[in-house]
Amino acid sequence: MSRRVEFAKMAAAGNDFIVIHDAGGRWWSKGAELAVSLCRRRFSVGADGLLLLRAVEGEEIELAYWNADGSPAELCANGARCAARFARDAGISGDRSILRTGSGLVAAELLAGRVRIEMPEPRGPIPHRIDAPSGSVDLFWLHTGVPHAVVLAGAISEWCFEELAPFVRRHELWGREGANVDLAHRTGDRLVMRSWERGVEAETHSCGTGAVAVALAAARLWGVESPVSILNSLGETVEVTFLSNEKGFFGVFLSGSVEEIYRGSIAVDRATVIPRG
């Protein structure tokens, strides 16, 4: 007999996720397997990653995230924003919640159709210069819940993203875990970015922790001031706000739109979606 699981397909600023309320913890130990099965585009639901959540105590919600390849990540910021919206809509929490993630507690709040989260205290930006096949590349390393390597360029066309992003992602400087890679440039009063994510191992349309990394790197290099509006490849915008002093950045928030696309149930062993009304 097929095992079935109910889920919601959600999107935040271009990232899409499968969200499951795993109240009894049935799927928690099978998260990696489930992510690989369900996130395969054209063969299953398809998504950038899988989110499992369950209420633990008070306003706290335990949240776990796996990339599409089954690898876990301490935090997915856009995923966390989807989880907060899902939890409110499902009656698990109110407009405010505390998400217990691998990067620590993340406060979330729903505000007039947008979801804002308070990010873990960042580390960096730390400047580096690496030798790539096409020449030297100046970039910043930051940890905004997960590691990022950020390249700030005069124009995105100056950097062959598809060629260099995989090289930078696995550069020896970042150790075994590697780093997500973000490329950004300024246009008017906004930053425009592209992201190459670990676990997806491809360009994604958006990355919340990457948007935060880009904003902080731009503040360090270009003197960009809070709030920072960041546009992704789909034309979706997120906003990053922050405070800073001589020691670095703190009080960092990420906000943007979240949508529920549909809900359904799936036979896990067959990966066949059966929509619910």
Structure tokens at 222: 């270009």
Query: How many angstroms separate the CA atoms of 127 and 238, rounded?
Result: 24
CB 68 within 8 A of CB 105: no
Other C-beta atoms closer than 10 Å to the C-beta of 130 total: 16
Question: CA end-to-end span of the chain, whole Å?
Answer: 23
Active site residues per annotation: 76, 207
Query: How many angstroms separate the CA atoms of 55 and 87, rounded?
Result: 9
CA distances from 117 to 51, 126, 156, 239 (A): 16, 24, 28, 11
